[in-house]
Chain A
Amino acid sequence: MTQSPGTDSSESLKKTPLHALHVELGGKMVPFAGYDMPVQYPAGILKEHQHTRARAGLFDVSHMGQVRLTGDDAAAALEALVPGDIKGLGERRMRYTLFLNETGGILDDLMVTNAGDHLFLVVNAARKEHDVAHLTERLKGRAEVELLDDLALMALQGPDAAGVLARFVPEAADMKFMSYLPATFDGVPVVLTRSGYTGEDGYEISCDKADAEAIARALLAQPEVEPIGLGARDSLRLEAGLCLYGHDIDETTTPVEAALEWALSKRRRAEGGFPGAEIVLAQLQSGAQRRRVGIRPDGRQPAREHTEIVDEAGNRLGEVTSGGFGPTANGPVAMGYVDIGRAAVDTPLTLMVRGKPLAAKVAAMPFVPQRYYRG
């Protein structure tokens, strides 16, 4: 059987504040974005995925970049880099947005929160160095940029997450979806957001790195909570139809091609003033040449990243950018880009998997219903 490549010496990889805990819990450690991270625990990816949707899963996402922007002009300054409405973002509200380049391509996707006296950003681990340099250069003189690398970040996701967190932070239960709250957890300061990357209700918890392990242990001691690795994090977000930077979106994909038009705020569409605005707004008007769609292979064989998508005659239509097995969807799920003429739901597609044609269809996303808190 083919064997995985030998693991990097974990000495050359970075460690999050929860590294020792992952090892103690039997985490299978693999390199990810320069960090030694748990891809799964002994339960395995399937069980971890299902547990998150049934009860609550705790994820270490400390490898991601937490960034603080300060300055009276910070919101306006940030708008020069993203197509979202930041000036109008209410206090303690957050939104998903994109760093764009001059051709409308996506440099990263991120969450921005109005924390009152600063903007709080969470960016992808693999892009944090790039993003901090980008922000520092472009916001020079208008805002201070600080990478908060003495913090940890955890995600608690699933239908039981709210009940669990309320035992420690009673006000968490009333938080609206996509809101922010500074609080205390067992006497320790934390910052909560009600958001996540799984399609389930849940929270992200930012804390000082020295407090991370105690918080993680307190949550894991709750009967509903299990530790969840990056493998299940990926299958959960894929079922939720959420993009993974570097795979489903990158510098060659515009928000229109990526079916992320909803991230282009109304005022910004009218005013422009973001990188690549001309190209992006033209695509909004007349359509792009290709589109990111959900894909459901017929049968049970998964189709993975880089699988070629062709039509009945074998002509290339596009490529799968993320694919695998969806435990909740109970079958293979994927997303990829296809020619705009083939992007309608139920359009038949052919996927070339190991040289053999596999029948598939364009499918609506998410593959599994979203269950964000609407209370």
Chain B
Amino acid sequence: MTTKYTKDHEWIRVEGDTATVGVSDYAQHQLGDVVFVELPDVGRTLEQGKEAAVVESVKAASEVFAPVSGEVIEVNHELEGEPAKVNSGAETDGWFFKIRLSNPAELDALMDEAAYKDYVEGLQ
């Protein structure tokens, strides 16, 4: 299983032709306490770099962008009752949705874990 990251702080964990998507631990820390998550509908087609979900903290709403294109096959319903999971488990049980990739080559443009770590360090 490989995990890749976007410059906008989404992560994607690929397993064959499907993948799980969420926001990084750095992102949840920047957001502060998450109070609401607006997830995409199952069946929705997502385009790489376009809005996929919305995460609301106490102060403001932030867009979550699709790291790759594909179809939403599952969403994390636990976030409806427990949005704080995004804070406590951003890269684990705070996942947002699962996607069937329509163009796996899009993954090449994303950062691996080491590159993302360097990128985040550069921001601080």
Contacts and interface: CB of A to CB of B under 8 A. Distances in A.
Interface of A: 1-4, 39-40, 44-47, 49, 231, 234-235, 300-302, 304, 324-325, 327, 332, 354
Contacts of A354: 38, 54, 61
A44 B33 contact: yes
B56 interface: yes
A45 B54 contact: no
Interface string B1-28: 0000000111000000000000100010
Contact of B23 (A1, A4, A302): A1
**Interface size class of chain B, counting residues whose CB lies under 8 Å from the partner chain:** 20 to 34
A302 B35 contact: yes
Given A1-B8, A301-B56, A324-B59, A46 B33 contact: yes
B36 A45 contact: no
Contact of B55 (A1, A4, A45): A1
B63 interface: yes
Contacts of B38: 301, 354
Contact of A327 (B27, B36, B58, B61): B58
B48 interface: no
B103 interface: no
Interface of B: 8-10, 23, 27, 30-33, 35-36, 38, 54-65, 80, 83
Given A3-B8, A325-B35, A39 B65 contact: no
A324 B10 CA distance: 24
Given A301-B56, A354-B54, A2 B32 contact: no
A160 B110 CA distance: 51
A12 to B, nearest CB: 21
B71 to A, nearest CB: 21
B61 A304 contact: yes
A45 B62 contact: no
A46 B58 contact: yes
Contacts of A324: 58-59
